[in-house]
A and B are shown apart, each in its own frame.
Chain A
Amino acid sequence: MLWTAFDALDDIADGDVQTRWPGFDPSELGVMASALLATTAHVIAHSLHDSPEVQAQLHLWIARGLGEMADGQIEDLDNARSSDVTSGRVFSSVAGKTGGECALFAGLGAVLARVSPERQRCFARLGFEYGMANQFVSDLAELSADPHRRDIRNGTRTLPLVWHVEMLERPARDAFVTLLESARRDAAAAERVREALLVSPAYRRAVLQVILHLGRARTALAESASSGPAAAQLAAFLDDVHPFGGR
């Protein structure tokens, strides 16, 4: 429910309501998402009939997680309005928005499993690193698979795009930034941006970044000292999402 609420708010912010939520208008969706965010923590805590200590931890994790996600979302919106976004700002935004989201969900699972706070942090780190990897894969996949070129048309400053800009020297950099602005209104310009990014070394570097985050997720899993079938399943999952098969 938390994921659905935040996903809806993200779609409102990105102007994707018509394509992702046909039949809803943004104001209806905003009310629905706000209600879910305001009530879910209480419903979860109440329905699990858990100890007051676990319930308090759940509330704290959700409050902290939502705060980080909101920070990341605001940075993301700010980046979309700016023509001078650095890769550092992209990392910061993704860390809050997607890393924070997956850290929250993994951390909540660990709280409910009643593991120690230290192991809760390991699982949250696993979730965070997986979330970072997943966001960058999504950004890369959208370049090759999204026929609507939504990221480019919405002005979303993704990691491969920003790295591509940072790798260019002037005047090529200025020309590409101008092309990016045109791409928000012009489908042909959006296609030219996409073609440039698909063959850019920034694309390969972003794949390498995905692998780095998956490696860190593996390290976090090892440090959680988990064993048994569930740990093996998590390790196998990280290998499955690795672009070259993991270990």
Chain B
Amino acid sequence: MSQEAVATLMDRWTNEPGFKDEFRKDPHGTIVAHGISLTPEEEAAVNSMDWTGSHEELAQRVSKMMAS
């Protein structure tokens, strides 16, 4: 698995101004525009994740997963 591509995605998510907003609106388009080459399974995972929620909401989802 291309861990590097996901690392690049998260690095840009964290450090690049405007990337987060762009990505939240159009994940696929943003990945293509920035030349991040994810595998099909990574792209499927990216598309099935909700990128709009806050840290707290994400932690709540994880707690629910643990309970299920």
Residues of A near any B CB (own CB < 8 A): 87, 137-138, 140-141, 143-145, 167, 198-199, 201-205, 207-212, 215-216, 219, 240-244, 246-247
Contacts and interface: CB of A to CB of B under 8 A. Distances in A.
Contacts of B32: none
Contacts of B3: 87
Given A145-B63, A198-B55, A212-B1, A246 B48 contact: yes
Contacts of B1: 212
Given A167-B10, A211-B45, 18 more contacts: A87-B3, A140-B59, A140-B62, A141-B66, A199-B55, A201-B13, A205-B7, A207-B49, A207-B61, A211-B48, A211-B49, A212-B41, A212-B42, A215-B41, A215-B44, A215-B45, A215-B48, A216-B41
Interface in B33-55: 41-42, 44-46, 48-50, 55
A141 B3 CA distance: 23
B7 to A, nearest CB: 8
B46 A204 contact: no
A105 to B, nearest CB: 19
Contacts of B62: 137, 140-141, 144, 207, 243
If over half of A's interface residues share one DSSP class (helix, strand or loop), that class is named, otherwise mixed; here it is helix
A207 B44 contact: no
Q: Which of B6, B58, B65 has the most CB of A within 10 A?
A: B65
Nearest to B50: A244
B49 A201 contact: no
Main secondary structure of the interface of B (DSSP, over half): helix
Interface of B: 1, 3, 6-7, 10-11, 13-14, 41-42, 44-46, 48-50, 55, 58-59, 61-66, 68
A216 B42 CA distance: 10
Contacts of A208: 6, 45-46, 49
A161 B41 CA distance: 24
A101 B29 CA distance: 39
Contacts of B44: 215
Nearest to B61: A243
A241 to B, nearest CB: 6
A45 to B, nearest CB: 33
Nearest to A242: B48
Contact of B48 (A140, A143, A219, A244): A244
A204 B49 CA distance: 10
B36 to A, nearest CB: 13
